[in-house]
Amino acid sequence: MIPVIRLKDKLARIDQHWTPGIVAAINDYQVKLVKIEGEFTWHKHADTDELFLVLHGNMVIRLRDGEAILEKGDLCVVPRGVEHKPVAERECHVLLLEPADTVNTGDAPGELTVDKPNWL
């Protein structure tokens, strides 16, 4: 049998903003869910791209030379090495796809850093 992952059930287990949880693994990548609200840290990932898929709400990915505005159902890939800052005025639910060893704050460790996300 192949497991079915109910994203709404997994999202219900997340009780803190900016704390990603793992819901699946694909080869060396992890599928993560996160609830966001407010502003995150400016950061970049030198060695990997980062995929954002908005499941609920709206968010902006600020870039040093512009911004990407995402609504429910929108997907954006931030290329490796590009500094970015996710922002959501209201709670937003996001699916992330990135290599398993990716730290959420990239090159800018701080209060919001989650070195090893938990499985949901």
Tell me: the pLDDT tens digits for 12-34?
Answer: 999 999 999 999 999 999 999 99
Return the percent helix, strand and coil in the chain, to nearest 5: 5, 45, 50
Assigned domain for 95 exists: yes
User: Exposed (0-12), middle (13-18) or buried (19+): which is 70, by Cβ within 10 Å?
Assistant: buried
Model pLDDT for residues 75-95, shown as the tens digit of each residue: 999 999 999 999 999 999 999
Assigned domain for 107 exists: no
Assigned domain for 63 exists: yes
- Rounded CA gap, 111 and 85, in Å? 15
Assigned domain for 18 exists: yes
What was the pLDDT predicted at 103? 85
Assigned domain for 16 exists: yes
What was the pLDDT predicted at 113? 87
Show the domain range for 87: 7-99
What was the pLDDT predicted at 104? 87
What was the pLDDT predicted at 106? 82
* Number of domains present in the structure of the chain: 1
Assigned domain for 51 exists: yes
| Mean pLDDT value across the chain | 95
Model pLDDT for residues 91-109, shown as the tens digit of each residue: 999 999 999 989 888 888 8
Assigned domain for 17 exists: yes
- Rounded CA gap, 36 and 48, in Å? 21
Question: In the chain, what is the straight-line distance between the N-terminal and C-terminal CA atoms, in Å?
Answer: 20
42 falls in which pLDDT band (50, 70, 90)? very high
Q: No. of H helices and E strands in the chain?
A: 1, 7
What was the pLDDT predicted at 55? 98
Q: Which CATH number fits the domain that encloses residue 33?
A: 2.60.120.10
Measured in degrees and rounded to the nearest 5, phi and psi for residue 85 equal -145, 105
Assigned domain for 119 exists: no
